[in-house]
Amino acid sequence: MPPEESLLMGNFCRVAPGSLVLDPFCGTGSLLVAAAHYGGHTIGADADGRAMRCGTTKGKTSPQLVQQRRLALATYPAHTLARLTLEEQQLPDMLTNFKVYGLCPPDRIRMNFSAWEKSWHPCRMVDGGNQTSPREGFLDAIVTDPPYGLREPRKRIVQDGEGGEASGSVAAYDTHEMVLDLVLFAAASLTVGGYLTFWHPTTDQYQDDELPTHPSMRIITNIPQRVSLKVVRRLVVMRKEEPLPAVRPTRAACAPRRPTENLRKLHDETHLPENKDYTDYRERLERKRAATQKYWQQSGEEPTRRQRVGDRQEEIVLNRENKIRLREEKQKESHKQNALNASKNKTNK
């Protein structure tokens, strides 16, 4: 998640010093860095413990990301880099950013969020004598970017039996089911006045009935952001206005009336007449392909082969290095010229 969006989400949630903030799909924890920046105490949860423990494999093997990390570390002063070991500089993990910025690291929990009702229990407080009663929420804010199901897998734990015990098997975790779990969890776990902020993946044909409802939760903000020609994600901010009702609403009563479109199937779909931007793009692409094919037929030459992904990444890295070198040379030349002009001005005076 880019830092601008991360800070914006923390701001929408009114994260303040002492706030207890949870990201149930934290990954490598970029949203938690922003929450900790505002002074919140952070908790990160994810089904993939490897991402929380040692980061992603792509971040360690991709030449582009390795170069970007090296350039980013070069901008920090020496006393800041002294907080990191040599291994952390070369192979950063989830906690590296917290160390660099001098922030309190998050508590980390490995869990499948689909089983939150079995994994999370409300705090209990003494209510006179030996009686105990559940506390109304324990979190001040929930910020998260749930997986869209395009690159990362989404699996939920199958529960069966009278007590809803886990069967040990997994099934597909659809977007509308995941968002419904998120809203139900927020209604049960947030304090009154707490905020839930999340990204909802959808399309240009989004309608408000794609989002679940709850009598205790109210939508404050719903902002679209285009991800691609096919996918639009919406930044949804909800606030817990009232305590949970005495009679808890059923899951079916809170479920969205219209399920979100399957983005994985949409990703492979090429005929989308209702999406004008994508249709125009496909027409331009087909004209370009036809023109390219006609050129190679008329020239009588063999068409050039496409570069491998690795070759393209190496070319991008080299181009970036050349641009950095040229920029540094221009800066040095500019400094020399400024010094020469200053010297001439002193001589004339």
Residue type, 343: S
Give the per-residue pLDDT at 133: 45
Neighbouring CB atoms inside 10 A of 249's CB total 15
Residue 293: pLDDT above 70?
Answer: yes
Give tens-digit pLDDT for 185-194.
999 999 999 9
Domain ranges of the chain: 3-55+93-268, 276-347
Give tens-digit pLDDT for 140-175.
999 999 887 655 555 555 555 444 554 455 567 788
Name the more confident of 308 and 97. 97
Which pairing describes strands 232-240 and 41-46: parallel, antiparallel, or unpaired?
unpaired
Q: Which spans in 62-209 are helix H?
A: 63-73, 78-81, 86-90, 96-100, 116-119, 175-189
Give tens-digit pLDDT for 207-256.
899 999 999 999 999 999 998 888 899 999 999 999 999 898 999 999 99
Distance CA 194, CA 182 (A): 14
3-55+93-268: CATH architecture: 3-Layer(aba) Sandwich (3.40)
| Mean pLDDT of the region 15-20 | 95
Give tens-digit pLDDT for 44-75.
998 877 777 766 666 566 777 777 777 878 88
Phi, psi of 156 (to 5 degrees): -120, 155
Banded pLDDT at 262 (limits 50, 70, 90): confident
237 contacts 220 by C-beta, under 8 angstroms? yes
Average model confidence (pLDDT) across the chain: 82
CA dihedral 31, 156, 134, 13 (to 10 degrees): 20
